Structure 1
């Protein structure tokens, strides 16, 4: 074989090797792409099961959570009637690995086979002396037991697209006294946020904090602003509390606040859309300003599965704001006994002795408070079917917190 033949042979072998390498590289990339698509599909289409309280609620995260986990997730899904609001990922860091090992891994891997702490934290009653709060404490024990019993009996499956960060997006954090507060609008939330600001040292008195500072000042941190370890640690060690209200009273209170008084957001955003869809022969002024929404029109919007605008936290179900069967709240207060419950809770967490829950009404102080009688007057504007459907909409809230169903 002469030199020319040797050169040609070597060249042919080189070309063949290059082609083989390019083929293998393309095949590997194709397999990687298909694997990524499969992983993404598995992440989106999860099937989560709510387990009874007292058992680990293991999430069915097969590989890893979606990208962008640290960002706030807003959900556009809204249920009607008795649909399932609980089929969400119950996630925490229940791994046997050491903290150092956890920190060395990608945060996305933390969602492999994890669960929220199932047990309630016994309330620390060392700060409570004497028998002054005995009745309040007894009531509190009964509320907690009732909710636990409800959650044990309730079991559901549903495919959803949410995760831990969304689950805790309504929870405020106060690190000094180690408390977590899930905000339920129209159930004393403005004054509770004032109290949290005082507890954290941001203000000397709750009485001097304006409405705008409370809601727009961004002085308080929410739990979803922490990294996954920070979320998990606080859920597992802080005292978690929630204050709720009779669903119909809360609904009517929200309507009166947002639609019966001038409002630069709710009138143009919600009011205009509601009037346009549900008011026949609406005049030009109403369509332009969105003012003057009637309660019946508001209820039509609430019950419409094709709402012209989305839901709002002021009339969203508590079961979807705070997920009481997934996050075990150590203290359940009620608006109907707000002052008594709130001051007892402040004693439990070691708040300053002179800190009392504010009595004043946050806005529209001259208006009559929304009471059972006030609600009855508004419900008269609805048909019997509309009243029943509105009750069905808040059905789980009535059951979970042992409220008496209204006469519909």
Structure 2
């Protein structure tokens, strides 16, 4: 009798265990089905948002390309009926012929364009001079301007690398002259300009150097700033925040609307205002800025539309007025090879630059 009862108990125990396992499996199946349904909804929602975001980013990118290549588009449109310049012919012609061809091409295109170039601003603020020679260069940011500054320091024997070129007292003296005198001097001066493709200029150096390739931007370090200033002139951390990072945050609506109250400011943050380092530091630790390429492009487009383009991505005609100044040397940074050594020789009152056929001829 006891044996029968024991067997029944075991049967009921096994049956109960099976039922529990079955219910657990069934509940798990129901849970997975519900999770898959929710996940599917979430995934569809995420894909929808991603599609909208991609459309917006594509629109920003396309718009920026239109703005940045505006000159090139007009260049091609107005040059259809002209004898177009063919870069492939460069290998078959001498450096002098190439220079003449580039000058003629600029002149022919300029006759069909109607840009209002800031001639006086260019003459007074954009040219840097080789003081002992009748030569001047209009350096364009991210188109070899740093290399030109190095050459200027070497040839002019100063100023010290820790002093910006524009603070050279000799340059300031020239800039303070009456504009007519400056223009007369420039008409008798050999003028140089170095250019590069606008998108290459924008992406390869500017986005990488100023926005850290889209990675998190660096924090403020007083010790590093002090050491850097002793060695070399250039943008400080606060300069970068004022000129690049805060405008990018503002253009992309990445700043809290009431954030200025936390900073004890009476009005919302304005990218046109230069704040002290403590304000920028507070913004940095609150936002932890990281600007991707599309956000950077939105900054570029909006600044051009508002007429507030940063000099680093401003147009060539707005920086150097190529339609009003007859540049003797138009060099291409894409063709430069290595880091040329500058050797200057004076021939009478003219300027002869022998860059070892490395800067001029290799860049033509």
- Name which structure has the greater RCO, CA cutoff 8 Å, separation 6+: 2
Q: Which structure is higher in helix share?
A: 2
